[in-house]
């Protein structure tokens, strides 16, 4: 059974689109599993997703419940990462914080990647003035310092997770637009696009149905590599007090609260930091691995 499934997946001449797609996914997964760092990255990301889903089961305490008799306790069997200045269990807060991080990262990817993809593909496909104007705007955004821009945007929009997501997405899309444009230019004059056009497909159909799907693999690589930066920016906004608002257990905001206790109760600020580092590293590892598999040309540049 298992061998026949494998044979079906690696079949050289797939008989259906589904078989071809699953076969490709199988080959990519196989190539990834031979890269130890990529495996570690995958495990970390899976752990993040599972932690976010099963947070109520993994948390040992209520992440928001204050108990001033239990404040600033060192890590112990009862409180694995100690307690904070309001007596809340840090482990439980870190576990619930995974949800916030995952939501932020997903929302930024969902907003910025399609926006950049469409802008870049349109610029590349139509060329001429639309290209010049769209890429002029893109280049201006690319040459600005991202963090500062995000800070100023959140200052204007007001603090909160939603606005932090919007601000980060606004600073992230230009990178994707550049990639999508470059990819589009390489496909634009190929014969299969000409064939589709001869069949009477509209420009919109060509771009959405045939150009964009070809950009996705380099896009996935880039988005994964960007995730660490997005997490750090979101945590930075939370740390300054412009991201997630209390009492939400956002990791950056938790570090900010632990600042006053860093000398004596080090665990309050350091524990959420470790969570940020592990998750960011996970995305870096996975992104590096994915790039080697999906986009081997771009090499070590990132």
> Interface residues with another protein (CB under 8 A)?
136-137, 139-149, 151-158, 175, 178, 228-229, 232, 235-236, 239-242, 252, 255, 258-259, 262-263, 266, 269-270, 273, 276-277, 280-281, 284-285, 288, 299-302
Nearest residue (CB) to another protein, 63 versus 282: 282
Nearer to another protein, 296 or 299 (CB): 299
Closest CA to 289 of 302, 279, 278: 302
CB 244 within 8 A of CB 153: no
83 bridge partner residues: 89
Residue 112 CB, nearest approach to another protein (Å):
14
Of 120, 229, 117, whose CA–CA distance to 171 is shortest? Answer: 229
Q: In whole angstroms, how close is the CB of 250 to another protein at the nearest point?
A: 12
Return the number of the residue (3 or 143) whose C-beta is nearest another protein: 143
Residue 114: CB minimum distance to another protein, A: 19
271/276 Cα distance (integer angstroms): 9
Q: Of 20 and 115, which has the nearer Cβ to another protein?
A: 115
C-alpha distance from residue 150 to each of 108, 164, 168 (Å): 12, 8, 6
Which tokens go with 243? Answer: 């991201």
What is the smallest separation between the CB atom of 242 and another protein, expressed in angstroms?
6
Minimal CA–CA distance to 100: which of 274, 279, 221, 266? Answer: 279
Which residue number, 68 or 156, has a Cβ lying nearer to another protein?
156
Q: Among residues 94, 74, 80, which one has the least CA distance to residue 266?
A: 74
Q: How far is the CB of 104 from another protein (least distance, A)?
A: 14
């Amino acid at each position: 059974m298992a061998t026949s499934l494998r044979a079906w997946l690696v079949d050289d001449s797939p008989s259906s689109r589904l078989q071809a797609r699953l076969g490709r996914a199988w080959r990519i997964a196989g190539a990834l599993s031979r890269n130890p760092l990529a495996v570690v990255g995958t495990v970390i990301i899976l752990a993040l997703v599972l932690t976010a889903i099963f947070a109520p089961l993994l948390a040992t305490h209520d992440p928001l419940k204050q108990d001033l008799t239990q404040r600033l306790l060192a890590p112990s069997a009862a409180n694995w990462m100690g307690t904070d200045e309001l007596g809340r269990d840090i482990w439980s807060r870190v576990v619930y914080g995974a949800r916030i991080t995952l939501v932020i990262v997903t929302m930024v990817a969902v907003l910025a990647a399609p926006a950049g993809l469409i802008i870049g593909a349109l610029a590349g496909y139509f060329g001429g003035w639309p290209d010049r104007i769209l890429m002029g705007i893109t280049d201006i955004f690319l040459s600005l310092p991202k963090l500062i821009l995000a800070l100023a945007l959140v200052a204007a929009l007001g603090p909160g997770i939603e606005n932090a997501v919007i601000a980060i997405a606004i600073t992230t899309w230009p990178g994707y637009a550049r990639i999508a444009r470059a990819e589009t230019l390489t496909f634009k004059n190929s014969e299969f696009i000409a064939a589709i056009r001869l069949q009477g497909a509209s420009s919109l159909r060509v771009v959405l149905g045939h150009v964009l799907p070809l950009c996705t693999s380099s896009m996935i690589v880039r988005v994964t590599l960007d995730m660490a930066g997005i997490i750090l920016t979101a945590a930075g906004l939370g740390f300054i007090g412009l991201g997630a608002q209390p009492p939400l257990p956002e990791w950056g905001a938790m570090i900010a609260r632990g600042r006053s206790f860093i000398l004596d109760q080090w665990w309050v600020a350091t524990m959420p930091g470790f969570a940020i580092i592990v998750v960011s590293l996970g995305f870096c590892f996975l992104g590096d691995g994915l790039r080697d598999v999906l986009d081997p040309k771009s090499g070590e540049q990132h």
